[in-house]
Amino acid sequence: MLCRALVLWFNKHGRSYPWRDSGDPFKVLVAEMMLRRTRADQVESAYKELFGRYPDAQSLAEGNSDEVADILYPLGLKWRTPAFQEVARAIVKDYGGKVPSKRHELLKLTGVGDYVAGAVLSIGYGKKEWIVDTNIVRVFRRYFGISTSVEGRRDKRIIELAKVYARARNPRQANLAILDFAALICGAKNPRHDVCPLKRKCRYLRTDVMKISGMAEARVVRINFKGVK
């Protein structure tokens, strides 16, 4: 239910970025490293400039470090800049220039955590691999009416939901859909209930409606994993 609704919405309203359309796991990996704490619109110009000069792992590994730093400087990534070439060098040295296609191998790379690894596997390789970030936590919390710890990304229930969600027929499209939905509709502040494709089933909206009506707050409910698909 959740996945199908989001994919239908994404087909009409999803965002387009060059790394999404590249079909190249290395470009997805580098883009995801750039996107940490940085808006996608800010990343696009730096991404194009970087790959215009260094089109693959080999060329980036051998590239001029000062030049790479200059390209990434506008993103505020100065303290992380060395990681980009470290990753490229490791991929060339240990994997023959090809981005590894298994999560445990990706997690060995500098600066790669579960989210980036999952994004590379799902978006870059089209695998049924899960991703969880703060925005996805927010969508799951609201839709299913569950509470989590402050560090929701590590909540076992959230991760299990993400794993079930990623079993979609097209996991790449499904994961892109929930990311764009969180950014464009289900924002941290002022979610757009009026155009939300999930409003008929969303526990968060139903709770708000009940509050406005003077009724008791909705109780936290058991997760129905069938509703993820």
CATH among 3.30.70.20, 3.30.2390.10, 3.50.50.60, 1.10.340.30 for 16-124: 1.10.340.30
Task: Report whether 97 contacts 57 (CB < 8 A).
Answer: yes
Q: What predicted TM-score, i.e. pTM, was given to this entire model?
A: 0.87
Per-residue pLDDT tens digits of the chain, which is 229 residues long: 899 999 999 999 999 999 999 999 999 999 999 998 888 888 999 999 999 999 999 999 999 999 999 999 999 877 888 999 999 999 999 999 999 999 999 999 998 999 999 999 999 999 999 999 999 999 999 999 988 876 788 899 999 999 999 999 999 999 999 999 999 999 999 999 999 999 989 998 876 544 443 433 334 445 566 667 6
pLDDT in tens, 162-211: 999 999 999 999 999 999 999 999 999 999 999 999 998 999 887 654 44
Q: Where are the domains of the chain?
A: 16-124, 134-228
Provide the strand spans (E) within 45-198. none
Query: Who's near 181: CB < 8 A, 6+ residues apart?
Result: 6, 9, 10, 139, 197
